[in-house]
Amino acid sequence: MSDDEQKKLCGRIDGLKAAHFGLESPDTWQIFQLPGHPGFYYILNPFSHGSGYYWCQRCVLDYPCQPNVCNIDAHHKRSEDRLWDVHRSMREDGLLLKDSPLMKLHWVTLGYHYDWDKKVYHRDRKSGFPGDLAGLSQFVAQALGFENFRPEAAIVNFYHMDSSIGGHTDHSEFDLSAPLLSFSFGQEAIFLLGGETLDVRPVAIRVRSGDVMVMSGPSRLSYHAVPRILRNSQCRCGSVAGDRQGSALCCCWLVPSSGDIVGLPPVRCAPSGWEGVGRDFQLLIDYMHNSRININVRQVLPPDGVFPTDDRMQ
């Protein structure tokens, strides 16, 4: 995207609000488009130093809590204990990471809960959509010119080093003119972007922690896949924070922010119940050394905000 195009888009929003969501000012973002894939936007990590761990802890500490739905619900009745609390207890008891429920957590749905069997949404299968994630998504969407985007559903995918997702399209929403937003944190991934049919040869993109992808227009219905998760290489700021196993997290992810992120106290940007830079923070680092989190946000309803009358989706 040219500088003039970016200024025209990003100049319409209040850049000062970016820090509220852990973002740099939009006029500094590096936004790219792909030839042959109109409507696809790629933003190189627009997050400020330290804000990555805020969004990761929201995904592992809060978003898996009921009434949100996760893959574990299909096999086990969850107790009132948070998965994170069970994970912490197991680690303190010296149990292996692979036995933790967090390693069995593959997805969580927020807002309208996607019906994986019927590939539809239901009017009455819905819980509250997180306000911080809604604000982040609307801000990014508005920066790209999608003024009326309404975050109504999200799927949080938890990848581990042997995870993958095959080629698919996201076509169950009622308004396919609204964009799909994708936020990635943790380890890297190969993302394949194809076309509206499987005949189109896909483009391979290496997605790093903090990168944002937006699929809109003709690209909204493009096939896409994640065939492989990769260990982090060097982060864009020129350094990495590694451990004895050789995995790495970008140092920007580890440095606490001095800004006010989503209305929480500066530096220790964490909700109540989170122990910040103590044992919980170290446990989160250990988890993210072997994991990638992707949050994809979409608008479900048509522009009038009314759930369509359709017997398949009641």
Q: What is the DSSP string of 91-121?
A: HHTT--GGGSGGGG--EEEEEBPPBTTTTB-
Cα–Cα dist 189/183, whole Å: 12
Q: What does the pLDDT look like over 69-105, one tens digit per residue?
A: 999 887 777 766 788 888 888 877 776 667 788 888 9
Q: What is the pTM of this model?
A: 0.86
Residue 234 has what pLDDT?
Answer: 58
H helices present in 114-260, as ranges: 131-143, 251-254
User: What pLDDT score does 136 carry?
Assistant: 96
Comparing 69 with 278, the larger pLDDT belongs to 69
Q: Tell me what pLDDT residue 193 has.
A: 96
pLDDT digits (tens, 9 = 90+) for 100-135: 888 889 999 999 999 988 999 999 999 999 999 999
Q: What's the mean per-residue pLDDT of the chain?
A: 82
pLDDT in tens, 216-256: 999 999 999 999 999 887 555 555 554 434 345 655 555 44
